[in-house]
Amino acid sequence: MDTTIELRTDAVAGSDQTSVRAVLRVLREDPELRLRTADLESTSGDPEDMGIGEEILRLVFDPELTGALAGALATWLATRSRQVKLHIKKGDHELTVEANRAEDADELLRDIREFMAREIDQ
């Protein structure tokens, strides 16, 4: 059975370095990852938030790739030039992770891997 997760960042849509589009580029370049589906969805923003929407990346993948995906996400997050939060949603559960420096990569990898490996209703 495939695993589905949704990713979003706290970046303003269109911010190239920290957007989910940047995450998608990195994941597509990784030779270990063979994503079944990678859909990018843009939402319209709330008028109270000045109409700024968010982008959500929905990934469908073989659960055997969880470790490779977690590694790619942790590395991407830890190597951003500015702080960014990555929100990972699986079923009704969400994990928010952020890194301030590359040294955070091991801890991020552990947190992401544990979250994605949990048996959660999808």
Is the pTM value of this prediction over 0.85?
Answer: no
Read off the amino acid at residue 38. A
Grade residue 48 by pLDDT with cuts at 50, 70 and 90.
low
Cβ atoms of residues 120 and 5 within 8 Å: no
User: Cβ(78)–Cβ(99) under 8 Å?
Assistant: yes
Question: Where do the domains of the chain lie?
Answer: 3-117
Helix (H) or strand (E) holding 8: strand 3-9
User: What confidence tens digit (pLDDT) does each residue in 8-24 have?
Assistant: 987 644 456 667 888 89
Strand 84-90 relative to strand 93-99, pairing: antiparallel
Q: Are 33 and 27 a contacting pair, CB within 8 Å?
A: yes
The architecture CATH gives domain 3-117: 2-Layer Sandwich (3.30)
